[in-house]
Structure 1
Amino acid sequence: MRVDGETGIIPLRAMTAGEILDAAVALLRRHAAPLLTLALTLAAVEQLMLSRLRTFAALDPPLYYWRINSEDIDWVPVVAAGLASEAFIIAMLGAVAGAAAGPALLGRRLRNRELFARARPLPALLLAVTLAALTFGATVAGFLGVIFVYGLAGLATVVLTVDRTANPFTAMGRAIGRCTRNGMRGAFLRLLGYAVWLAIRLALGSGWVIAASTVTSVAGWTWWLDWAVPIAWAMANAVAYAALACLDAVLLLEIRVRTEGLDISVNRARSLGRDPATALVVRR
């Protein structure tokens, strides 16, 4: 870990929603290679899984693969699987982004191999599977619960790697507690970030699909469209998933500054000549 100075790319102060989004993009840019590589790999597996499920359910593939028909509910488990896979991927990426966020706050640059070593993959995997199962169940039960699962519990893997909690489920409880502070500000900001990146990936994915359709119609390569559509969505989703994970990491630090005095703890550690990284750890 190399120290770049005391000014990090994540401001050590309370931020507005726009500043949180900007800091998340800055974090993604700094660690683009590992985050986007992992995101693209997981998004490609997701598209492969969903394509098999859509074929099994005999669903026609429209622009975003969703066919809402009041007389046919075969699309429900497919959409539930899609939302569950999103929750899983964002959670796994959140563990990596959380590992990068603390050093980024303190003005330190983390090497990629150090980044993955700090990400605590096994506890993060357990939490990601739990969040995916909760999301799937909430979707099948009527969709409304997905908002609460994503908004309240989704910070769990970030808490795991920033706070360095000993118990992964302690991390989930702490994530819920932090997202409900200040009138559920954290939950609302997570949902706002999801909505922003949903619009971006819909624009990216649909644009690439339209471009592929144009090339297909001109060249007569009808076989290519079956591959172009999932590739387009995998690329669009990969960018969005990585950005949302970084948003979660920045949001957690901002919540801790706003409600726990993290900035005061870090500055006190610096003034006493101690490692300010110790102020990030909350093991209890």
Structure 2
Amino acid sequence: MRGEAAGSRRRTAILPLRATTAGESLDGAVALLRQRALPLLAVAAVLAAGEQVLVTRMRAAAPGLEPPFYLPDHFNFGVWWQILATGLAIEVGIITLLGAFTGAAAGPALLGRPASHGTVLRRTRVVWALLLALLLAAVAWPAAYFGLVGVVLLYALTGLVTPVLTLDRPGNPVVALGRSVRLSARGGLRVGRVRIVGYLTWLGIRGALGLGWIAVGDLLAYNFLGASWLDRAVPIAWGVANTVAYAALACLDAVLLVEARIRTEGLDIALNRSRARGEDESETLVAT
């Protein structure tokens, strides 16, 4: 039978088939990142570099924003806030786009089945994922600019949209968006709350990484290379830190989708039933 044939090729699953705590979800995201590090970090690096190019040009055009911290003064707070809103909107778009790949990777990781990076990539539904990423980034900019509450709520409710697109395989992206909101809102916004905790956790990590490299760059610039070198060191430092953070947060979204379906839809029961019957478990992952 198909299920038996698949079982003969099964490896140890890196995602547990049970409800998990917030800490276990973060650990699962790191495990998924390690399994798919090469394609995820490569794409995240390109996107993070593009973000730094845009933000750096905006900073250069704004008077008084000096590296390494680019803090505003009372003369240019409005410009600084625009740059902040732009950065947050780009982050939402990048994490959303990467979530299409991690959602496709979550199935094999949960079932313990081997799947090449190319196989996972072919399941990412790139066009729809890109459209969703652009849509959420466009909505995130005014939500951030006119008060951070809106972008926090948007981030909490829409994080599962591209993992839903590629793991649950709905018929169109509108269904994926609605399903993301429903799953994220269940259990007192549990998915949304864990997603925000994950974002804040990685914000601290990338802050330490970024500021650490900036401190080294500041020392080298002052002693050896001249102050202009710092202008290049700052975006590189933040680009490297953001590369890892964006990939990890996209992995967290995929893990949270699996966990939400186990917790609220009995995905673990359905998969165990499929295994007992010798059915193809991958078909059970498709939400009906």
Taking structure 2 as the reference length, the TM-score comes to 0.94
The structure 2 residue matched to 1:270, chosen from 251, 269, 275, is: 275
Taking the aligned partners of 1:241 and 1:61, their CA distance within structure 2 comes to 25
Q: State how 1:195-274 maps to structure 2 within 5 Å.
A: 195-274=200-279
The structure 2 residue matched to 1:43, chosen from 16, 31, 48, is: 48
Taking the aligned partners of 2:187 and 2:162, their CA distance within structure 1 comes to 21
Taking the aligned partners of 1:43 and 1:142, their CA distance within structure 2 comes to 24
Q: Which runs of 5+ in 1 are unaligned?
A: none
The sequence identity of aligned pairs, in percent, is 49
Contact 1:40 1:235 in 2 (8 A): yes
Root-mean-square deviation over aligned CA pairs: 1.7
User: What's 2:118 paired with?
Assistant: 113
| CA displacement, residues 29-83 of structure 1 (integer Å, 9 cap, x when unaligned) | 0010000001111000000011111122335134343426487311122111100
Contact 1:256 1:262 in 2 (8 A): yes
Taking the aligned partners of 1:177 and 1:125, their CA distance within structure 2 comes to 21
* Cα pair distance change 1:118/1:71, threshold 3 Å: closer
Moved over 6 A (4+): none
State the one-letter code of the partner of 1:254: E
User: What's 1:170 paired with?
Assistant: 175
Taking the aligned partners of 1:82 and 1:64, their CA distance within structure 2 comes to 14
Q: Which runs of 5+ in 2 are unaligned?
A: 1-5
Q: State how 1:1-284 maps to structure 2 within 5 Å.
A: 4-5=9-10, 7-67=12-72, 69=74, 72-282=77-287, 284=288
1:2 Cα deviation after fit: 10
Contact 1:135 1:149 in 2 (8 A): yes
Partner SS state of residue 108, structure 1: coil
State the one-letter code of the partner of 2:50: V
1:280 Cα deviation after fit: 0.8
* Cα pair distance change 1:22/1:259, threshold 3 Å: same
Taking structure 1 as the reference length, the TM-score comes to 0.95
